Amino acid sequence: MGRFFIYTLFVVSAVTVTTTQPFQTMSKERRLAYLLRHDASYPFDEHGWRTVQDLIEHHGFTKEELDDIVATSNKQRFEFSDDHQRIRARQGHSIDVDVEPDETVPPEFLFHGTVAANIQSIKEQGLRHMSRQFVHLSSDRTTALQVGRRRKGDVVILTVMAHKMWNDGHLFFLSRNGVWLVKDVPPQYIKLQY
């Protein structure tokens, strides 16, 4: 194991697993997340807004359902424009939009929950943003554990030396629902702790 790698291995049984679930069987919130983050067929404006009218007319949502999802989403994933005519996701996009997360100086450490099967590759390549615009980081281990538990397999919590990265010139953004975003994390900034 490399000098930089100190391991924190949380071996837990995966309770929530990310699946390739058919669209129509997803919850309304998950469907909305897909439609606002990944739907390349929709002409989003540059800041990632989609009209409420489009979701009502073409995707089976009612205005009340959208109000309810925005208000009750456990991670506060979505927001309306001031005039309530448009809606967007606050983070997690694969489509190329700028939802204006705040560029922010990060704390000393941030955390990333993943699974053991990814570790060798992460050691070699660092954390990559994969299909999304950014690598997602959490400000505490508990949240990172929840993120990792979405996947099948033993969860591993990685510690990212965020402030050192920032000092070395990497930009960090904080989404409006508290998720830290960074383009990629080179391997020398990752601590794996036993």
Indicate the helix (H) or strand (E) that contains 47.
none
Report in angstroms how near the CB of residue 47 gets to ligand HQG at its nearest: 18
Q: Which is nearer to ligand HQG, 99 or 127 (CB)?
A: 127
Residue 86 or 151: which CB sits closer to ligand HQG?
A: 151
In the chain, where do the E strands start and end? 50-51, 78-80, 86-89, 102-103, 109-115, 135-137, 155-161, 172-174, 180-182, 190-191
Q: Smallest distance from the beta carbon of 120 to ligand HQG, in angstroms?
A: 8
**Tokens representing 141?**
């281990």
Task: Report the residue number, 18 or 53, with the smaller CB distance to ligand HQG.
Answer: 18
DSSP letter, residue 180:
E
Smallest gap, in angstroms, from Cβ of residue 117 to ligand HQG?
Answer: 8
Classify 124 in phi/psi space as left (phi over 0), alpha (psi -120 to 50) or beta. Answer: alpha
In the bound state with ligand HQG, the residue whose beta carbon lies nearer, of 33 and 161, is: 33
* Chain residues in the site for ligand HQG (CB under 6 A): 33, 75, 77, 92, 114, 118, 121-122, 125, 127-128, 130-132, 136, 147, 151, 179
